[in-house]
Structure 1
Amino acid sequence: MKQRQCWYSIVLFFIVLLFGTNTYSACELIMVYKEGAKEPLIEAKPSYAGVYYELFGRASQRIGCTLIVERLPKKRLHQELELGNLDFYPGASFSKKRAKYLYYIPNGLETGEYGLTGNGVPELTSYEDLKNHKITWLLEIGSSKLELAEELGIPVLERRHQDVDIVAKFIKRSPKVEYFYVADRELIDFFPRRTGVESIESVGLKVHKQCCGGDQPMHMGFSRFSKHFSEIRNPSYDASKIISPKNFPVIVDPMSVAAKLGGALAAMDAEGITKKIYARWFFEGK
């Protein structure tokens, strides 16, 4: 009888071990990004090397998950996020429209949105200046900035892919038309190192640092319909104030995987790991 009980105990132990291991490894987080590069954050498809992969990969490991990366056209990836088929976008600008399906969680990185124009454009201090100076806004198809441009009545020109190199060439080819492009601070800072030029101004571009919100914390956009996300009512929400990542009707459920990922990212930031990861990829490319 004792031998049988011992045998049952051994079998039960291996069953628990087997299923426990499967449950642990079954936590897969799918990060999605558009196909183009945004170095040093991420290289162009099919690679996914860069700050994002190391940062979110290490944060995922801390909570017992595995990171998977998908690369899709921007419009398609947002459709998948809205359906909950993908989990998160690593660096997302806040949008009231996209907040219907994305929840914004700080990822520990710092960013900033700066304007780029040709050298001849006067200093821009707000988006409204684009309309006053009759400037056309260059946008990537699927950009969250389209709703803002439409609200302000600013003419736009959309392309499937935009980056600093394309904008520089576009402006140079069209001297009779003034164009404007919003680029993240890290792209502008990294441009001379990546291309070998002395400065971004040397290729005919002017940086407008006061037009577009300035420096700010970067957020990941986590799908509110992901199986790894759940939310609860935000008791601190103030409906009389503008909606934002800090003032939103709901907050992420502290017990959800999304909240745990956010906690791991916050811990890495506090430990100084995030800055070290960014600096290594910025200066060494690895």
Structure 2
Amino acid sequence: MAPSPDNSGLYQALYTEAAKRIDCTLIIKRFPKKRALRELEAGKVDIYPSTGFDEYRSQYMFYIPNGLHRKEHYYGLTPANIQDINSLSDIKSTNLNWIIEAGRTTANEAKNKGITYQELVGLTASKAIKMISWNRKVFYQIDTLEYNNYLKKHSISDLTHLNIKTHTQCCPGKSQKLYAGISRQSPLYKEEPNPYYNPAVEISPDNFPTQQLAGSIGYKLSLALQDIYSSGTLNLLLNQHNVTPP
């Protein structure tokens, strides 16, 4: 999706197509991630377009496959005088504060590893780069695609002129199936007990205590997304928006 206020992009195209198929109208609202999650929890927003599964968030969000996958690689950014960071655990020895956009599950990773971190509302790659260039003692994990786009936008080959060191071996990649998250408090969502749920198996989108009620708008949305994928329409949308499947 393009930077606000321009909503054009794959998500707009995908959900406009899905909404059309179930005779609904798509209205896009842009919020910082943490506020978007609060709105979903309260049922004030119906759908989050694309996310990986998170058990805690499944308390208020039901996960519908949207046909997309995410494969990401990351670098780490720090002030230039920091020693090489070859794993996330190395951050602890640098005395840096890991800055993370508020609402991202990355905070759980930092917490589990005992790394000092700070969640910042509305944090972006550009803002993080600016903070580090001002000699803030922080670590920032950046998607390599975002990193390369930043270099291209500013016609530069690296960030050394900003006194920023790029750590290319610090951060494990991520590959996961993506879902539309529908608010369980939304009037579009109706649920019933899932007769196939196995409590002896870990909770996941494929093993969840409840299922959508057939005939509800959320259920129709899940069928529409499935058809968009199986019919090949999703591949057409990916090509139109220059998105390469992982």
Same fold (TM over 0.5): yes
The structural deviation recorded for 1:173 is 3.9
| Aligned counterpart, 2:47 | 88
**Measured at CA, do residues 235 and 210 of structure 1 come closer, stay the same or move farther in structure 2, by a change above 3 Å?**
farther
- Is it true that 1:264 corresponds to 2:227 in the alignment? no
* RMSD of aligned residue pairs (Cα, Å): 3.2
The runs of 5 or more residues in structure 2 that have no matched partner are none
TM-score by length of 1: 0.68
Highest RCO, 1 vs 2 (Cα 8 Å, sep ≥ 6): 2
| Aligned counterpart, 1:48 | 7
| Aligned counterpart, 1:163 | 124
Instruction: Tell me if structure 1 keeps the 8 A contact 2:53–2:178.
Output: no
**Measured at CA, do residues 196 and 58 of structure 1 come closer, stay the same or move farther in structure 2, by a change above 3 Å?**
farther
- For residues 23-65 of structure 1, the C-alpha deviation after alignment (integer angstroms, 9 at most, x for no partner) is xxxxxxxxxxxxxxxxxxx123222111111110011101111
Residue type of the partner of 1:51? L
Q: Which has the higher helix share?
A: 1
Other structure's SS at 1:61 match: helix
Aligned-partner Cα distance in 2 for 1:165–1:243: 36
Other structure's SS at 2:26 match: strand
| Aligned counterpart, 2:25 | 66
- Is it true that 1:106 corresponds to 2:59 in the alignment? no
| Aligned counterpart, 1:153 | 114
TM-score by length of 2: 0.78
Instruction: Tell me if structure 2 keeps the 8 A contact 1:200–1:206.
Output: no
Residue type of the partner of 2:54? S
**Measured at CA, do residues 132 and 249 of structure 1 come closer, stay the same or move farther in structure 2, by a change above 3 Å?**
farther
The runs of 5 or more residues in structure 1 that have no matched partner are 1-41
Instruction: Tell me if structure 2 keeps the 8 A contact 1:191–1:200.
Output: no
Residue type of the partner of 2:31? L
**Measured at CA, do residues 172 and 276 of structure 1 come closer, stay the same or move farther in structure 2, by a change above 3 Å?**
farther
**Measured at CA, do residues 236 and 206 of structure 1 come closer, stay the same or move farther in structure 2, by a change above 3 Å?**
farther
**Measured at CA, do residues 85 and 211 of structure 1 come closer, stay the same or move farther in structure 2, by a change above 3 Å?**
same
The structural deviation recorded for 1:67 is 0.6
**Measured at CA, do residues 196 and 86 of structure 1 come closer, stay the same or move farther in structure 2, by a change above 3 Å?**
same
The structural deviation recorded for 1:280 is 2.6
Q: How many residues align?
A: 236
Aligned-partner Cα distance in 1 for 2:157–2:218: 39
| Aligned counterpart, 1:221 | 181
| Aligned counterpart, 2:202 | 242
Could you tell me the percent identity over the aligned residues? 28
Q: Which has the larger radius of gyration?
A: 1
